[in-house]
Amino acid sequence: MKAVIFAGGFGTRLSEATNLIPKPMVEIGGKPILWHIMKTYSHYGIKDFVICCGYKQYVIKEYFANYFRHNCDMTVDLSNNSVKVLDNHSENWTVTMVDTGLNTQTGGRLKRVQKYIGNERFLLTYGDGVSDINIAESIRAHEASGCAVSLTAYKPGGKFGALQIDLGSDKVLSFQEKPDGDRNWINAGYFVCEPEVFDYIPENDDTVIFERKPLEQLAKDGKMHAYRHAGFWKPMDTLRDNTELNGMWDKGQAPWKVW
């Protein structure tokens, strides 16, 4: 089974880093967040990846094109330019990188890589968020649902303490520190998709946003299933997010490190 990763956006909210590299290549603990996401999938036996590239796509291609040599010990004989690999620390991955366009939306990007996926079930996620999601369990739940697509639903915690106030006396009737968001489940990515999903994306239309009409219609047709995740999930949208994730990693307290 293949895992498709959206990695083509501009990452404008993280512009401090993305003026030079694409957002999925911004590092946590010395490795791109894209690598962390792939390590999660790899832990569950998913080692065949299709990366939807766009903005500064050459950075992603060069990283994986040189990945083997950067992750092995070697001897180089300068007299004849021969290379002898001594010890390989590389990953057992197959990585297909596709330039899906600079301004293409998520639906258009997914449609462009359809030919590399074929008529089979596939996994899908975004290249800017990490989680301790149990991929194997999400696949089993999807199979049991009989739906065309399953998305990971997550209920984020609130950022501020919540107050209930008596407007007549201004007395605080109740206080709850950082309750569960606004009680709504959100899309945390990590989809499991049947090839039927492609039928909901029109041909040759790069303006299609996957999260709009395709997913909305799948839900209306009763073909969407939610896999509820109560563990850790965090997107890397801002420099603050990146700092927090690096702090977790440096302290050995990174919940998404399941490998």
Per-residue tokens: 4? 């498709």
Q: What is the DSSP string of 72-131?
A: EEEEEETTTTEEEEEEE-----EEEEEE--SS--HHHHHHHTHHHH-SS-EEEEETTEEE
What is residue 67's predicted lDDT score, i.e. its pLDDT?
A: 95
What is residue 161's predicted lDDT score, i.e. its pLDDT?
A: 57
What is residue 173's predicted lDDT score, i.e. its pLDDT?
A: 62
Domain boundaries, the chain: 2-155+184-250
What is residue 185's predicted lDDT score, i.e. its pLDDT?
A: 85
- Asked if 155 and 233 touch (Cβ cutoff 8 Å), the reply is no
CA 66/CA 26 separation, integer angstroms: 17
Name residue 191's beta-bridge partners: 124
Divide the 259 residues of the chain into consecutive groups of 10 and give the mean pLDDT of each group.
96 89 97 98 98 98 95 94 91 97 98 97 98 98 96 80 65 60 80 98 97 95 94 96 98 97
Q: Which fold has domain 2-155+184-250?
A: Spore Coat Polysaccharide Biosynthesis Protein SpsA; Chain A (3.90.550)
